[in-house]
Chains A and B, each alone.
Chain A
Amino acid sequence: DAKTTQPPSMDCAEGRAANLPCNHSTISGNEYVYWYRQIHSQGPQYIIHGLKNNETNEMASLIITEDRKSSTLILPHATLRDTAVYYCIVRGGWGKLQFGAGTQVVVTP
């Protein structure tokens, strides 16, 4: 599975949109991009995933570039409860998800 690169940390003001970048330049055609987050002392939580089209659900939006080498997770109106580590993962087919170090997002009042 392709590796991903994320910034180690970022801050966001409460009520503003949080844009979390992820680079996956070696992604192959059948690999999906997944986003999970992990709030302190909890297990990871699924957010969203996509292949090549942009995706939106009640939690977030996922924007994937046309060449699929990078993506951005958008939290439209960040709240204090969105403070967490966010993981961008690339996976083809079924089986394990390989987590990296993720991005520590801190939402401040």
Chain B
Amino acid sequence: GAGVSQTPSNKVTEKGKYVELRCDPISGHTALYWYRQSLGQGPEFLIYFQGTGAADDSGLPNDRFFAVRPEGSVSTLKIQRTERGDSAVYLCASSREGFDTGELFFGEGSRLTVL
């Protein structure tokens, strides 16, 4: 079946612009996670949704970052007033919380470059 899909795969933008990154989780997965990964580092947690609500947003670095999941499926990560330091690969994952195997299924990521 289809895995986690992320779009766009690559995004180049200018400093100060607004960016949206989309994640389509595996059908039926109630939990959705956003991570970002800088070169040479492990993925850094940003936010976790259980259904439509953000169960844990402790990883969002500041108020320029926001994520939504209005219908409990697709999620959008929104970054306002982008800065060069936001350049990273943004990873989305989903899982069947409620059957906690701890197995998160990751997408291929969206590579964001802020010039």
Q: Which residues of A contact B (CB under 8 A)?
A: 32, 34, 36, 38, 41-46, 49, 85, 87, 91, 93-102
Contacts and interface: CB of A to CB of B under 8 A. Distances in A.
Nearest to B93: A43
B48 A49 contact: no
Nearest to B97: A94
B44 A99 contact: yes
Contact of B42 (A43, A46, A49, A100): A100
A43 B107 contact: yes
A98 B31 CA distance: 16
B41 A96 contact: no
Given A43-B91, A43-B107, A99 B102 contact: no
A33 to B, nearest CB: 9
Interface of B: 4, 31, 33, 35, 41-45, 48, 55-56, 59, 91, 93, 97, 100-109
Contacts of B106: 43-45
Nearest to A89: B102
A interface, by DSSP: helix, strand, loop or mixed?
Answer: loop
Contacts, number: 55
6 contacts: A43-B107, A44-B104, A87-B42, A95-B55, A97-B104, A101-B41
Given A43-B108, A96-B48, A96-B59, A101 B101 contact: no
Contacts of B33: 96-97
A97 B107 contact: no
A99 B42 contact: yes
A91 B31 CA distance: 16
B35 to A, nearest CB: 8
A102 to B, nearest CB: 6
A99 B43 CA distance: 6
Nearest to A85: B42
Contacts of B109: 43
